[in-house]
Amino acid sequence: MASSTSAAPIGLALLGAGNIGSAVVAAVQRAGERYAARVGAPLEVRRVLVRDTSKARPGLEPSQITDRIEDVLADEGASIVIEFMGGEEPARTYIEMALNSGRHVVTANKEVMAKHGAALLQLAYDRGVRLQYEASVGGGIPVIAPLSRDLLANEVTAVTAIINGTTNYMLTAMTQQGAGYEEVLAEAQRLGYAEPDPTADVEGIDAAYKIAVLCGLAFNVDVAPTEVDRRGISTITARDIAYAAQLGYVIKLLARARLVDGEIEATVRPTLVGASEPLAKVDGVLNAVQFEGDLVGRVMFEGPGAGQGPTASSILADVLDVAQDVAQGRKPLAFIPRRKLRVRPAEEHEARAYLRIGVLDQPGVLAAIATALGDEGVSISSVLQYESEYTGGDEGTAELVLTTHGAPGRAFAAALDVIRELDVVREIGNVLPMEG
């Protein structure tokens, strides 16, 4: 649709033209007049970088397509570069090249922003341009903008999030259907919620990238993804789900970061969440991010965390925001260099815990386990015992489900080393943190 504004067009260059890139192109063409009215100038897609230039691209002319980043950067009319490539390289290099050329950049790349965000944001400020990355964390959930504006007066002390739709779908299915991990993974892959290689999702890698990005935003602290204490959901069984329900909990893969005595704790862990807590009710492929601030208290943003439409929505919001700056000649705000606080290792994290332990069904078992825990200062809160008829285990065995009061990770690790060596213990099935 033609625009009624007489201002010069603001040129866009796209790095990638997959599902989300195509959705952005279609939206710019379909809603061109509305966007122009909001920005004060029309948007124009000028160049699109792709791997295969022979492939037909709906809505694009062959003259707009290239497989060379040099062609993109040679177009002086393209003032905003939008990166859809994913992965660390060459995306990071191309973003850096675009910033160095004096162009604004919008990206949804969580890996690049988690690993290199601080350096790239500093570079953007040094070059007098903007680097926007709303879609890198919450997909369709507005997270970065509220943190940068609406919660600016608050000192954020904690972030707790469900930020991977694949694992949230799988855990929800296990909870609602009573199904096992492998069964729901196959279903998620069939429905397109999980990749053929689901490792990044189910092992918490994707969520670790996102919580690292959120640490920079919430606390202005640079946290590397490798510093996040990470564990995925592949060890969660249908029995864990059922036991959690009997205790009044649901299991969610929580990405969590908090300030503790001037240091950072950052984790991605399957966690028992109290069934009455708001995060416990975030089901299916929905995501949610919860912040705790000194003035506002606890606030939560919930919505679709991935997919073509939600991600394109976040990207276009950033594009329109930057385009308004370009149209009105506004300069970027100052970039405050990131702090580098100590990131606490897992052994220093204090939490309550859920323990599932396979044992021989005989007298003295619980006493031996309680002694091992007590010797390390871990206090038991509750105990449930399930016979082999319920668990499907061998005759003469049972499963103990214990919950504990809060204790440091090192205390749990030391106690579990002792418990693992007890003659009456067959296996330590799972150890999960608890919240709520």
- How many whole angstroms separate alpha carbon 372 and alpha carbon 413? 11
Name every residue whose Cβ is closer than 8 Å to that of residue 317 and which is 6 or more positions away in sequence.
134, 142, 145
Q: Which two tokens stand for residue 232?
A: 């995925």
Other Cβ atoms closer than 10 A to 128: 11
- Dihedral, CA of residue 213, residue 164, residue 197 and residue 307, to nearest 10: -100
Q: At 384, list the tokens.
A: 């449930």
Contacting residues for 329 by C-beta, under 8 A, at least 6 apart: none
Evaluate whether 101 touches 73 at the Cβ level (below 8 Å). Answer: yes
Q: What is the token pair recorded at 256?
A: 């969590």
What does the alpha-carbon distance between residue 336 and residue 122 come to, in Å, rounded to a whole number? 8
402, 430 Cβ separation under 8 angstroms: no
Q: What share of the chain is helix, strand, coil (3-state, %, to 5)?
A: 40, 25, 35
Q: Would you call 55 a catalytic residue per the annotation? A: no
Compute how many other C-beta atoms are within 10 angstroms of the C-beta atom of residue 308: 14
With contact defined as beta carbons under 8 Å apart, do 8 and 43 qualify? Answer: no
Residue 276 and residue 207: Cα distance in Å, rounded?
24
At 310 the three-state DSSP class reads: helix
The residue annotated as part of the active site, out of 210, 281, 331, 340, is 210
CA distance 289 to 19: 25
What is the distance between the alpha carbons of residues 373 and 38, in angstroms, rounded to a whole number? 62
Structure tokens at 387: 């016979």
**Catalytically active residues, by annotation:** 210
